[in-house]
Structure 1
Amino acid sequence: MTSYQPTPPHPAPSTSQELLTVPQVMARLQLGSSAVYDLLRTRQLASITLGRARRIPTRAITDFIRTRLDQEAA
């Protein structure tokens, strides 16, 4: 007789995998909507589209900031 072993629940997404809305990114970067949409349009800030919703991974914000700091230091 085999006993049933339930599978553990999926872990919650880590902070690096969190998806943010444009207003959340605006608040984090302290920028207006036009500036954030310009960054998305020029692909300086990576994003994904889910249906009609645009989402930005927190990792993309970290990468964007790191890239800008490297550019400023050069």
Structure 2
Amino acid sequence: MRITAQQHLIEDIIDAIATSSYGIGIAMKCDVKSNLDGDNSYIEFVPKKGCTIDIKDWFWFGYHIR
């Protein structure tokens, strides 16, 4: 999954990956790639081989970001 947004929003997601329990859990199951480039900023989550992420995990991760 790729999220393209303004740089400050991507920075908030990156911060949540490092500080929230849901973010840390998602980072353990996914390769996370990001690019901070103004309005072209993005973050991409690619599940690692054999890993899946439940839709509830995405919901709670988003809920705890802001």
Structure whose CA Rg is larger? 1
**Which one has the bigger strand percentage?**
2
What TM-score comes out, normalization by structure 1 length? 0.27
Greater relative contact order: 1 or 2 (C-alpha under 8 angstroms, separation 6 or more)? 2
What TM-score comes out, normalization by structure 2 length? 0.29
